[in-house]
Amino acid sequence: MLLQLRNIFKWVNSGGQRLFLLKDINLNVEEGEFISVMGPSGSGKSTLLNVIGMLDNFDEGEYEFLHEPVHTLKEKHRANLYKEYIGFVFQSYHLLDELTVKENLEMPLLYKKFKGTERRAMVADMLDRFNIVGKKDLFPTQLSGGQQQLVGVARALIANPKLILADEPTGNLNSAQSEEIMGLFKQLNSEGVTIIQVTHSEKNAAYGSRVINLLDGRMIK
Amino acid sequence: MLRNYFKIAWRNLLKNRLSSFINIVGLTIGISACMVILIFVRYESTFDGHHSNADQTYRVVQHNTLPDQMVYWNTTAYPLAEALRNDFPEIDVVTQISGPVSRVFKVEDNFGNVKRFEESQVLFVDAYYPKTFNIQWLAGDSNSALSGINSVVLTAELAKKFFGLEKENYNSIIGQTIFLQNKDALTVTGVVANPPGNSDHQYSMLIPYKFFKINNEYFSMNWSGNYQGTTFVVLRNAKIRETLEKKITGWKKKYLNPQDDKRISYALQPLKEIHDETLYGSSPGGYIMPANILNTALIVALFILLIAIINFVNLLTAQSNSRSKEVGIRKVMGGGRFNLIVQFIFENSLVIIGILALSVFVVRILLNFLNTNLSVIDVQLELGWSHLGILLLIGGLTLVLAAVYPALVVSAFKPIQALKNNIRFSGTNRFNLRKSLVTFQFAIVQLFIIAAIVLAMQMSHFREMDLGFSSDAVVITETPEFEKLEVYRERLLGDMGINKVAFGSGPPMAVDGFQLGTTYRLPEQPQEKSLEAEMKIADIHYLDFYDMELVAGRNFLGNKEAFDEFIVNETLLKPFGWNAEEAIGKRIQINEGQATIVGVVKDFNNNSLQNEISPCILLNWTYYQSNAFIKISDANHLSLGVIKNIWEQTFSNSIYDYHFLEDSIEKEYMVENLVFTGFGIFSILAISIGCLGLFGLMSFMISKKAKEIGIRKVLGATLFENLSLFTKEYIGLVSLAFLIAAPLVYYFMNQWLEGFTYRIELSFWMFLSGGFVTLIIAILTCSFQSIKAALANPIYALREE
């Protein structure tokens, strides 16, 4: 078992009323799964992903990640946990515009205290694997959306995470680019990486092994 | 890691060119201005600190107890030095100087060409002078150079000027002869380096004291008078100062007559306190920089730096809006808060260190500019390694405030909100830190502006006040030969452009540090009842020349070798309780003799306007008519050339020099002018920095409010309504800042004005106009960019990503 959510609640207080963002979420994720989270806008998909990614807190319930009780961990400990095991991919790529492709890939490694030679090797490996060696000195704005997302995925993968969290990774891409990215996810999944993606598209969801539907913060069948 | 930080920093600087530029320029101005002030303050507060004996050296000052007041002199009787030297073994060295004075010299070169020079900084010093004060000898023997009589030591600059030396072969002129006032031959016995600018002993040549004594025998033996000799002592140990002062108090009766013994007491003033102590007045040829002015300057420097730092911080935190995405990404990628703090501190420090380096260049340029263009006082400011401490201090303060704080703010962003660009820096209505900083900044700006207005009013009050005499278009020249006065007068009056000519010891207001002092009493009163008075030598044209009004009696009949008539001012009569009419015909005793009061002149400002009118006596003496007063009527001052010709024709052996009375009067307000100039410059600086900051802040505000403007415009808001969106906030802040600044300025300006006898009243409009000016400038700065935003097509602002 990679992670387990038990009775997760998250809410905000708005105008004297309690507005639930997540309501009684129970979810088990095994290693090697490829899960798609679906639902209309505002149903809590991204919130769920952020909670799983430990970027956001929840108000009630229990969360175990690799048998560590996340809800009891201190901020710093939690950060170490996601730093080591989780990679993120975003809808709008979130590459740093001031860094080149190569430097963007290197950035997470800096925070994980890899040595210079190791970093260079890992970056070179990744560039090679994604076939973007020729683009290594370009800045994100010089790339197409699909290429940027490719870099985004490469960056998420570079430190060998167990889990990739992707928030509408193809939301800003055209259909050809989408297919390329989804194909890549499929391949990564077959190599053993666990993936949880948020998506609107049935077509993309079909790449996954399981679909979770959310409505108003609640999981429905 | 650092390389990565460096890259990001550099690329961000380039990306936000405008705001980087504003940031750098603003802080550079602030740091440079602050440094210049600190260097100036250091310069002024280390006057004469370079002498190796500085801590044990004291100036002997004289306190005179008069029936109605105490008078403080920084000079003492001439024989005092010799007596102290003989009677007190605990004093290491006693030295005495006289001057600096102005003298004319004749130099003849090897080919028989004669050149004449007038030197205004001739200092008479005894052989002990080089043992007391550090002098750098370039040629000659320091032990013997000043022990002769007819010898002279030149500064390097003067040696070059007199002898046309091209290389620094100063030894070649040792033994050469120059002539003083066309008669005394003086042999060059030494060449010394020019004294540093921050010394009250400014000289271009040193002449042995013995020479001076021989030529002024009466003065040099007289214990009761005071003829501008300054005495310094070097104590073996600074601790014995008080016991020594007590000893001297008991000892002085050995030389002083009983009345003088009662009147005169001596005190020892530490050398390092001379330059900023106003009690004893400025030493001859020097000036005083009061300690409170220096303290004010320090506060001003701090304020300017704070304004600049606040700008920097405000801009950086506002800018961090655009960095929030980066913070979010970095945190998600595993960067901890500490990593980010380090990164941003590194990045900000890099910019600040660059700015510090830039400031060093700017400071050098500014110092050069001050050295050549500061007309109020003569300074020689230089940037040296000794100022490294100042740079580090300012740099350190700036780093802590401007690098650390923004880094702490930015690094605290929560990743999710940061990625969504959802950080709320400032609820528009809350009173947050940024608004308080801007308010503080505006308060300082207004403080400067209002102070500058008050100072300007006081200065113009000085210039425009009725002094009781007319000073327009009065040219003053020296009159080296008394016997030629009438010839000179007639030649001058022959010119169409010259209206009136008078002779006397000095103009009605004592200027250029020249004032003849005496004491007065009724002939039947004992000497200790004598009161202090100023005396002026005048001729029969003097009153008419200066439009001075006689309230009783008549003018002089003529000048005599033994004066017999006095014209006195009204203030002089007060101790006797006479009215003007009663005073006519009364006899008065002064130090120089006795005479009858023939006229009473309406009070005029015989002292510069910081001080009150003091008792003043005009004498019909032929002695000391050393100045000619010439009234010229043509606006173009064409007569100046005529005066020069006539002067040179009349007094052929001297060098012509002239000055306008109004310029000399202006010089009396040196310190006030300096303060005014300073506040003028620094209020402009403060405004510029403030505006730069506001300009920078506005660009961020506008990018934040673009959507709001778009919505308002679609819903029908006019341009003006949209503009007021930006300006109304700043109007509020400026007004609040005004409420903080106004009472502060009121307090400080009141204190400052209290130092003047003739002062303006603080009025409401000075404050309001200061506030108003700031408001207008703030609104203009805001509008500059917001007009563009308000005119923009709302479609672009409202388009969703």
Q: Which of A154-158, B12-16, B463-467 has the lowest mean pLDDT?
A: B12-16
Per-residue tokens: B795:
């479609």
B426 — pLDDT class (breaks 50, 70, 90): very low
- Taking alpha carbons only, the member of B218, B235, B203, B221 closest to residue B92 is B235
- DSSP state for residue B48 in the 8-state scheme: T
Distance from CA of B136 to the nearest CA of A (A): 59
Q: Average pLDDT for residues B722-744, to the nearest whole number?
A: 86
Domain assignment present for B741: no
Distance from CA of A56 to the nearest CA of B (A): 7
Q: In chain B, which residues have their Cβ closer than 8 Å to the Cβ of A85?
A: none
For residue A166, the enclosing domain spans: 3-220
Distance from CA of B331 to the nearest CA of A (A): 9
Number of domains in chain B: 3
In this complex, which of A55, A82, A95 lies closest to B416 when CB atoms are compared?
A55
pLDDT of residue B428: 44
B143 — pLDDT class (breaks 50, 70, 90): confident
Per-residue tokens: A152:
């985004």
Q: In chain A, which residues have their Cβ closer than 8 Å to the Cβ of B323?
A: none
Q: Average pLDDT for residues B517-539, to the nearest whole number?
A: 86
Of B221, B239, B273, the position where a domain reaches its end is: B273
* Residue B164 CB contacts under 8 Å (≥ 6 apart), including other chains: B109
Q: In chain B, which residues have their Cβ closer than 8 Å to the Cβ of A76?
A: 336
Specify whether B138 is located in the same domain as B191.
yes
In this complex, which of A82, A97, A110 lies closest to B4 when CB atoms are compared?
A110
Q: What percentage of chain A carries pLDDT values higher than 70?
A: 100
Q: Average pLDDT for residues B749-768, to the nearest whole number?
A: 86
Q: Are B279 and B72 in contact (CB under 8 A)?
A: yes
Distance from CA of A65 to the nearest CA of B (A): 17
Distance from CA of B10 to the nearest CA of A (A): 9
The pLDDT of residue B26 is above 70: yes
* Residue A175 CB contacts under 8 Å (≥ 6 apart), including other chains: none
| Closest-CA residue of chain A to B337 | A76
Q: Average pLDDT for residues B701-721, to the nearest whole number?
A: 76
Cβ distance A107 to B333 less than 8 Å, yes or no, reads yes
Q: Which of B3-17, B177-191, B567-581 has the lowest mean pLDDT?
A: B3-17
A135 — pLDDT class (breaks 50, 70, 90): very high
Q: Which of B15-19, B149-153, B326-330 has the lowest mean pLDDT?
A: B15-19
pLDDT of residue B339: 87
B376 — pLDDT class (breaks 50, 70, 90): low
pLDDT of residue B423: 58
Chosen for mutation from B1, B323, B332 (greatest number of chain A CBs closer than 10 Å) is: B332
| Closest-CA residue of chain B to A49 | B416
Domain assignment present for B196: yes
Specify whether B180 is located in the same domain as B106.
yes
Q: What is the pLDDT of residues B68-87, one digit of tens each?
A: 677 788 888 888 888 999 99
Specify whether B30 is located in the same domain as B85.
no
pLDDT of residue B801: 43
Q: Average pLDDT for residues B482-501, to the nearest whole number?
A: 87
The pLDDT of residue B654 is above 80: no
Q: What is the pLDDT of residues B264-281, one digit of tens each?
A: 889 999 998 888 888 887
Q: In chain A, which residues have their Cβ closer than 8 Å to the Cβ of B339?
A: 111
Domain assignment present for B213: yes
Q: Are B304 and B30 in contact (CB under 8 A)?
A: yes
Specify whether B119 is located in the same domain as B164.
yes
| Closest-CA residue of chain A to B10 | A98
Domain assignment present for B445: no
Cβ distance B329 to A96 less than 8 Å, yes or no, reads yes
CB environment A157-175: b (16+ within 10 A), e (fewer): bbbebbbbbbbbbbbbbee
Burial class (CB in 10 A: 0-12, 13-18, 19+), B229: buried
In this complex, which of A53, A94, A110 lies closest to B329 when CB atoms are compared?
A94
Q: What is the CATH number of the domain that holds A86?
A: 3.40.50.300
Specify whether B6 is located in the same domain as B62.
no
Q: Are A32 and A25 in contact (CB under 8 A)?
A: no
Bigger pLDDT: A22 or B417? A22
Number of domains in chain A: 1
B797 — pLDDT class (breaks 50, 70, 90): low
pLDDT of residue A62: 93
Q: What is the pLDDT of residues B665-697, one digit of tens each?
A: 887 887 788 888 888 888 888 888 888 888 877
Q: In chain B, which residues have their Cβ closer than 8 Å to the Cβ of A154?
A: none
Specify whether B190 is located in the same domain as B149.
yes
Specify whether B401 is located in the same domain as B317.
yes
What is d(CA B587, CA B303) in angstroms, rounded to the nearest whole number? 59
Q: Are B781 and B691 in contact (CB under 8 A)?
A: yes
pLDDT of residue B424: 56
pLDDT of residue B422: 60
Q: What is the pLDDT of residues B595-613, one digit of tens each?
A: 999 999 999 998 888 788 9
- Cross-strand bridge partners of residue A60: A9
Specify whether B554 is located in the same domain as B420.
no
Q: In chain A, which residues have their Cβ closer than 8 Å to the Cβ of B4?
A: 99, 103, 106-107, 110
String of DSSP letters for A54-77: TSS--SEEEEEETTEEGGGS-HHH
Q: Average pLDDT for residues B325-336, to the nearest whole number?
A: 84
Q: What percentage of chain B carries pLDDT values higher than 70?
A: 95
Specify whether B85 is located in the same domain as B229.
yes
For residue B235, the enclosing domain spans: 54-273
What is d(CA A25, CA A41) in angstroms, rounded to the nearest whole number? 18
Cβ distance B330 to A107 less than 8 Å, yes or no, reads yes
| Closest-CA residue of chain B to A119 | B1
Distance from CA of B336 to the nearest CA of A (A): 8
CA angle B60, B63, B64 (to 5 degrees): 140
Cβ distance A111 to B11 less than 8 Å, yes or no, reads no
* Residue B88 CB contacts under 8 Å (≥ 6 apart), including other chains: B244, B247, B248
Specify whether B527 is located in the same domain as B647.
yes
In this complex, which of A56, A83, A111 lies closest to B416 when CB atoms are compared?
A56
Q: In chain A, which residues have their Cβ closer than 8 Å to the Cβ of B333?
A: 88, 107-108, 111, 155
What is d(CA A48, CA B154) in angstroms, rounded to the nearest whole number? 90
pLDDT of residue B427: 44
pLDDT of residue A16: 82
What distance lies between CA B115 and its chain's CA centroid? Answer: 35
B218 — pLDDT class (breaks 50, 70, 90): low
Domain assignment present for B603: yes
Q: Which of A73-77, B70-74, B366-370, B723-727 shows the highest mean pLDDT? A: B366-370
Which stretches of chain B sit within 8 Å of chain A by CB? 1, 4, 7-8, 11-12, 15, 325-326, 328-330, 332-336, 339, 415-416, 419, 801
Count of Cβ atoms closer than 10 Å to residue A47 Cβ? 21
CA angle A198, A204, A205 (to 5 degrees): 65
Q: Are B462 and B668 in contact (CB under 8 A)?
A: no
String of DSSP letters for B578-644: --HHHHTT-EEEETTEEEEEEEEEPP---S-TTS----EEEE-BSTT--EEEEEE--TT-THHHHHH
Cβ distance A98 to B8 less than 8 Å, yes or no, reads yes
The pLDDT of residue B703 is above 50: yes
pLDDT of residue B420: 73
* Residue B398 CB contacts under 8 Å (≥ 6 apart), including other chains: B27, B31, B305, B309, B312, B352, B356
pLDDT of residue B675: 81
Domain assignment present for B80: yes
Cβ distance A103 to B4 less than 8 Å, yes or no, reads yes
Average pLDDT, chain A: 90
The pLDDT of residue B507 is above 80: yes
Q: Average pLDDT for residues B422-433, to the nearest whole number?
A: 54
Specify whether B10 is located in the same domain as B75.
no
Q: Which of B473-477, B491-495, B709-713 has the lowest mean pLDDT?
A: B709-713
B729 — pLDDT class (breaks 50, 70, 90): confident
| Closest-CA residue of chain A to B14 | A98
The complex's ipTM works out to 0.83
pLDDT of residue B604: 93
What is d(CA B234, CA B248) in angstroms, rounded to the nearest whole number? 15
Q: Which of A149-158, B237-246, B776-785 has the lowest mean pLDDT?
A: B776-785
A23 — pLDDT class (breaks 50, 70, 90): very high
Domain assignment present for B576: yes
Q: In chain B, which residues have their Cβ closer than 8 Å to the Cβ of A90?
A: 419
What is d(CA B60, CA B80) in angstroms, rounded to the nearest whole number? 9
In this complex, which of B7, B15, B416 lies closest to A50 when CB atoms are compared?
B416
Q: Average pLDDT for residues B466-472, to the nearest whole number?
A: 88
In this complex, which of B1, B11, B325 lies closest to A94 when CB atoms are compared?
B325
Domain assignment present for B788: no
Q: In chain A, which residues have their Cβ closer than 8 Å to the Cβ of B15?
A: 97-98
Chain A to chain B Cβ contacts (< 8 Å): 54
Cβ distance A108 to B334 less than 8 Å, yes or no, reads yes
How much is the pTM? 0.78
Distance from CA of A173 to the nearest CA of B (A): 13
